[in-house]
Structure 1
């Protein structure tokens, strides 16, 4: 009986070794051909809602809404119940794919002149880098860099 089991054990061993995860030519990724579509890098889409990520408080922060041609920033307090206009200005979307994008926004005076906490600067420079929009914001003589991430 032992002699008849030896060939079966040998066959099982060969089958198990043959089924191991040793890569074969068919396991290798196929090389790209000219017929395959290569995805091109696109300019960043900054439209949408953004929230400050470097605020010292969950109850007081800045939030922004970016549309095709406008950026609106609010001071937000009282767990989101109170919003005060800080900035309303122009926005121009990036036209080329890049790791960072800088634009100068021109303030909409009609939308900000009567807002008590709004910036009175005519222009504000914004930077988009590392998936965040950053800019300097000031109030009562204190200036800080605000960093926003998509909400």
Structure 2
């Protein structure tokens, strides 16, 4: 009987230690994986081009840096550019869409530009890989949609 109890005790001990073994995954691996899977705020910096122009030779383009958005009229198939907007840019801090920011115009950069907006602020919206905003000229208002180049 003693011969039977010893192997059973050994098997039970192995079974218990096997269930409670040490975690072999790197510390924080689960946290890292969750962070990688979480949606990230989009990077809007770079060059954007109008995706809905009335003409292929005349459109708007924008350049976004860490804190500035510059929008230009582009004509002559890209040979001529004119300032439309220079203002503040605030990057999104999360992946929520739509993301809207109010840009404050840099008057010193736009006051002498004949085709520039004279509005003090302009609202821009990012949603679905597109930045959109309203443009008014000569009594007509249209929505410009930009796609990143």
Please classify the TM superposition score into its range, dividing by the shorter chain length.
Answer: 0.7 to 0.9
Q: Which has the higher helix share?
A: 2
**What's the counterpart of residue 92 of structure 1?**
90
**1:13 alignment counterpart:** none
2:117 to 116, 119, 127: 119
Aligned residues: 119
Q: Offset at 1:35?
A: 7.8
Instruction: Give RMSD over aligned pairs.
Output: 1.4
Please name the residue that 1:28 is paired with. none
Structure 1 CA distance for aligned equivalents of residues 56 and 65 of structure 2: 25
What TM-score do the two structures reach when normalised by structure 2? 0.76
SS of 2:33's equivalent in the other structure is coil
Q: Structure 1 residue 140: deviation in Å? A: 1.1
- Counterpart pick for 2:71 among 70, 73, 79: 73
Distance 1:126 1:79 in 2: 25
The runs of 4+ residues in structure 1 deviating greater than 6 Å are none
Select which of 28, 46, 49 maps to 1:48: 46
Q: 2:33 corresponds to which residue?
A: 37
Give the CA deviation at 1:134: 0.2
TM-score between both structures, scaled by the size of structure 1: 0.75
